[in-house]
Chain A
């Protein structure tokens, strides 16, 4: 952690500084696009598939394989400076060719811009997309949640485990369309499995505040912690 923090004021890179106003009469389709979309299409021809403006927000469709370079450019380019990753999520469509879209919500604080980047995953391949954890460390839990709910693997993520459900959860990925609302198992079985879970097992060693003092712990607790974590499914 040698990186120094820099203070960013919202809108500091704008040429005309004015107070932000609430947009009114926003159109459903069309309207003024985020200038990043055009710049992105110019910088990465062929990678940006299309872009659209919905309710005033710009969505850019990007090929999944080039996510890393596109995101790196959006973060590093001095004319873009998307320094804040709000959300990583996914949308599933009942479409065989592109069943799942991964969605990144980016915000540029210096330019007061919002950009939605989407990548449609092909249906005939394993659900995987490059992780953006290298660029925004905040992607850690967002990608874990997305993996937990949809089963999308984020390649390059340092610790891709379930986040909301417990690690031994066996019923699948709850936000998939084929997941029944009440889960796959009976209520009794769900309760039995939930009560059988090891409460400590959901924390990694880094998350446990006692991680530094691990060697000083009593042997039984040490054993439980070392076997309980990262059991996987």
Chain B
């Protein structure tokens, strides 16, 4: 947007893709301010991280200070998915469906080592990081993270929300892997890139 200086073309051109002006940035600030301070979390608590999450929500640490007063146990009225705990493979389609049921704008916090990387559960049953299923905005390390850690992650997410621009068309795009795309990496290559995967007992995946 810009006001042309020549008197014959004194029009307002609003092109969010190309340029941003004072009005849009102020509007973005207002929208983001509202969004960042009224995040409704969808708690997806599967393990001990959920206990710390409950402690965070309780009176001592008081998540309500950051506008997260209401736990939304329905994904359809939630803004931020907080995945607290390990996710087994059997739960992977459930988690993905919950994420798909959440309306835009939505964010995701991966709380704890297990949700972020699989943690110590490097075995046949546990998803090695929920970012293999759904996009993640903030990773909170810890096993489990203290409430202060989760609050820090939430503050980081709020900063991220504050920095969003409505002109960015890509920000709300939900991408599905497209095999014809240049960016698409087939699962076999991902698996190769994932090497080495051994532990003290089994150095190779194919080893008995």
Interface residues of A (CB under 8 A from B): 164-166, 171, 174, 178-183, 186-192, 194-197, 199, 202
B187 touches A186 (CB 8 A): yes
Which chain A residues lie closer than 8 Å to B202 at the CB level? 180-182
A194 touches B89 (CB 8 A): yes
A to B CB contacts below 8 Å, 21 in the list = A166-B90, A181-B122, A181-B124, A181-B199, A181-B202, A182-B123, A182-B205, A186-B188, A186-B191, A187-B128, A187-B132, A188-B187, A188-B188, A189-B187, A190-B124, A191-B127, A191-B187, A194-B89, A194-B92, A195-B92, A197-B90
B208 touches A199 (CB 8 A): no
Q: Is the interface of A mostly helix, strand, loop or mixed?
A: loop
CB distance from B119 to the nearest CB of A (A): 14
Determine, out of B16-24, B93-101, B162-170, the stretch whose residues face the partner at the interface.
Answer: B93-101
CA of A158 to CA of B191, assembled, Å: 40
A195 touches B205 (CB 8 A): no
Chain A, residue nearest B127 (CB): A191
CA of A190 to CA of B127, assembled, Å: 9
CA of A179 to CA of B202, assembled, Å: 11
Which chain A residues lie closer than 8 Å to B128 at the CB level? 187
Does B194 count as interface, using CB distance less than 8 angstroms? yes
CB distance from A85 to the nearest CB of B (A): 26
Does B197 count as interface, using CB distance less than 8 angstroms? yes
Interface string of B173-191 (1 = CB under 8 A from A): 0000000000000011011
Which chain A residues lie closer than 8 Å to B205 at the CB level? 180, 182, 186
B89: which of A180, A181, A188, A190 is its contact (CB, 8 Å)? Answer: A190
Chain A, residue nearest B197 (CB): A182
Of residues A174, A183, A187, A195, which shows the largest number of chain B Cβ atoms within 10 Å of its Cβ? A187
B124 touches A183 (CB 8 A): yes
CA of A188 to CA of B177, assembled, Å: 13
From 129 to 153 in chain B, residues with beta carbon under 8 angstroms from any chain A beta carbon are 132-133
B124 touches A182 (CB 8 A): yes
B187 touches A174 (CB 8 A): no
A179: which of B97, B124, B132, B199 is its contact (CB, 8 Å)? Answer: B124
Interface string of B188-204 (1 = CB under 8 A from A): 10110010010101100
Which chain A residues lie closer than 8 Å to B122 at the CB level? 181-182
A191 touches B188 (CB 8 A): no
A191 touches B123 (CB 8 A): no
B201 touches A181 (CB 8 A): yes
B93 touches A195 (CB 8 A): yes
CA of A75 to CA of B121, assembled, Å: 40
Which chain A residues lie closer than 8 Å to B194 at the CB level? 187
B188 touches A199 (CB 8 A): no
CB distance from B122 to the nearest CB of A (A): 7
Which chain B residues lie closer than 8 Å to A179 at the CB level? 124
CA of A181 to CA of B206, assembled, Å: 10
Q: Which 6 A-B pairs have the closest CB atoms?
A: A188-B187, A183-B124, A194-B89, A186-B191, A194-B92, A188-B191
Which chain A residues lie closer than 8 Å to B206 at the CB level? 180
Does B207 count as interface, using CB distance less than 8 angstroms? yes
Of residues B90, B191, B206, B208, which shows the largest number of chain A Cβ atoms within 10 Å of its Cβ? B90
